[in-house]
Amino acid sequence: MAKSISQEFVKGLWDEIPPFRLVLGLCPALAVTTTMKNGVGMGLATTFVLVCSNLLVSLMRNIIPSKVRIACFIIIIATFVIVTELVMQAYAYTLFQNLGIFIPLIVVNCVVLGRSEAFASKNSVLPSLADGMGIGLGFTIALGLLGAVRELIGNGTITVINEIQVFGPSFEPFEFMVAPPGAFVALGLMLCIMNIIGKK
């Protein structure tokens, strides 16, 4: 069971990448990925909460009584979510408006609570940090990728910082992809591609 810290970090990028391998945290993955920028922004906000809550949970794992641990985890996570919310409102207001209701909803994102419960409450500080960063980065990459695919097909653009036209003016956008049904289909097909590549 003694894995090195780098292994804990790397597993979040492929073996346990949410929301593909761990089917958790679907709601933000589907809802905010209409552009690449939103997807990455959501991913980074979640990563911040994930790393901080993993750190704190792992520091306090011997103090928290096991009967009320879920409630304690939720309070820790909620605190960091409020911090994220206020910081984003102050420094990244347009992103804050685009993500809207999904920032306070990080608190009920199963990825964050799942990592606290399954990993940070049983492991010491450094592996927990690595785990949080790995899973968070994996989530960010997945959301960014999904956002990029949907935006590229549905709108013909890629937004990194500014909008970039990829296909030129004659491209007829396939608007289905940025509409809600497209989110489900895009994620389903990406999962299918992941299954083909990562056959075990």
Partner 1 sequence: MGEYFILAISCILVNNILLAQFLGNCPFLGTSKRMETAVGMSMAVIFVLVMAGLITWIIYHFVLTKFDLEYLRTIAFILVIASLVQFVEMFLKKSIPALYAGLGIFLPLITTNCAVMGVCIINVDKDYSFMTALVSSFSYAVGFGLALILFAGVRERILLSRVPKPLEDTSIALVTAGVLSLTFFAFKGMV
Q: Which residues are near partner 1 by CB under 8 A?
A: 23-28, 30-31, 70-71, 74-75, 78-79, 81-82, 85-86, 101, 104-105, 107-110, 113, 179-185, 187-189, 191-193, 195-196
Take residue 28 and report the two structure tokens written for it: 């933000």
Q: Which is nearer to partner 1, 65 or 188 (CB)?
A: 188
Q: Which is nearer to partner 1, 112 or 148 (CB)?
A: 112
Other C-beta atoms within 10 Å of 190: how many? 16
Q: Which is nearer to partner 1, 63 or 196 (CB)?
A: 196
For the bound state, the minimum distance from the C-beta of residue 137 to partner 1, rounded and expressed in Å, comes to 21
Q: Cα separation of 15 and 17, whole Å?
A: 6
Give the 3-state secondary structure of residue 159: strand
For the bound state, the minimum distance from the C-beta of residue 79 to partner 1, rounded and expressed in Å, comes to 7
For the bound state, the minimum distance from the C-beta of residue 156 to partner 1, rounded and expressed in Å, comes to 21
For the bound state, the minimum distance from the C-beta of residue 181 to partner 1, rounded and expressed in Å, comes to 4
What is the three-state SS of 120-154?
HCCCCHHHHHHHHHHHHHHHHHHHHHHHHHHHHHH
Q: Which is nearer to partner 1, 18 or 134 (CB)?
A: 18
Give the 3-state secondary structure of residue 15: coil
Q: Which is nearer to partner 1, 149 or 187 (CB)?
A: 187
* Contacts (Cβ under 8 Å, ≥6 apart) of 144: 36, 39, 40, 43
For the bound state, the minimum distance from the C-beta of residue 120 to partner 1, rounded and expressed in Å, comes to 17
Burial 6-44 (b: 16+ CB within 10 A, else e): eebbbbbeeebbbbbbbebbbebbbbbbbbbbbbbbbbb
